[in-house]
Amino acid sequence: MITKSYFKGMYVEQHQLFEGRPTLIFLHDSLGCVQLWRSFPELLAKATQCNILMYDRLGYGLSAPMKDYIRPVNYMELEALLLDELLTHYQVAQRILFGHSDGGTIALTLASLFPGSILLTIAEAAHIFVEPVTLQGVEEAMVAYETTNLAERLQKYHGDKVDTLFKAWTLTWTRPDFRDWNIEYLLGNIQSPLLFVQGSDDEYGSLKQVAETINKPKGLAEQFILPGIGHTPHKEAPAKVLEAVAAFINRQLV
């Protein structure tokens, strides 16, 4: 059964597939939304016999617009707090996080702030600090937005919210006061088994993001690196990511 609803202006989609089983919570990236996950959530849910909860953050997809593109430096920490409210509202008790890019950072933050409430954490192409390669990638995206049909392609999923959400991402990450943003100090609180998925050729982050993340938690923390893959492994190498993530989840849920 699929239910669609709103929580504080955010579009929420739930797939109740397996009675009594955990819920996979999908957190999209800085330009993403529920629709852009495509078939990956359903395939992972089937492979792990889990339920699904996906949502569009404010300003994305089918959610209400964000009030302003100006974000505080700690905007992802605030998103993690809001996600905890959302999951509590929907009475999601057995929580498995799968976050990509910004969503991966929010997943790591939520697992750090509420360590006892998370079963497993999968972070794909997440960031825990700002790197030159990240800023270069953002700047190249800004050029593409002005010189290609990127805005038109995004409008298909976000409607007239595109300009605001794009500014919210790019102007935040390139602000001088964001250069020192760092969540490494939080990661030692993570208790849930952690898997970090990363492409070796990620245009927005180096493998330092992975190494520094998996060294912090006191419990199990593993990495899955895909050679020659960029920032979206679940789209660029879906079969490999699905196999690795499903195996990780199934091992922990035995």
Q: Average pLDDT over the chain, rounded to whole? A: 97
pLDDT at 218 over 90: no
pLDDT digits (tens, 9 = 90+) for 11-25: 999 999 999 999 999
Q: Which domains does the chain have, with CATH numbers?
A: 2-253 (3.40.50.1820)
How much is the average pLDDT of 172-181?
97
Mean pLDDT for the stretch of residues 179-206: 98
The residue whose two tokens read 């960029």 is: 230
Residue 250 to residue 254: CA distance in whole angstroms: 6
pLDDT reported for residue 115: 95
E strands present in 102-239: 118-124, 194-199, 221-226
Cβ–Cβ under 8 Å, residues 56 and 28? yes
pLDDT for the residue 29:
98
Is the distance from CB of 51 to CB of 74 less than 8 angstroms? no
Whether residue 245 has pLDDT greater than 90: yes
Percent of the chain with pLDDT over 90: 98
* CA distance from start to end of the chain: 25
Q: Are 142 and 148 in contact (CB under 8 A)?
A: no
Classify residue 72 by burial, with Cβ atoms within 10 Å: 0-12, 13-18, 19+: exposed
Q: Place 251 in a pLDDT band, splitting at 50, 70 and 90.
A: very high
Burial class (CB in 10 A: 0-12, 13-18, 19+), 220: middle
> Which tens digits make up the pLDDT trace of 73-126?
999 999 999 999 999 999 999 999 999 999 999 999 999 999 999 999 999 999
Q: Is the pLDDT of residue 5 over 90?
A: yes
The residue among 170, 200, 193 whose CA lies nearest residue 71 is 170
Query: pLDDT-derived band of residue 190, with 50, 70 and 90 as boundaries?
Result: very high
Distances (CA, A) of 2 to 5, 28, 231: 10, 19, 29
Tell me the two tokens of residue 240: 């490999």
* 0.85 surpassed by pTM: yes
pLDDT of 254 reads 82
Count of Cβ atoms closer than 10 Å to residue 106 Cβ: 27
CB atoms within 10 A of CB 227: 8
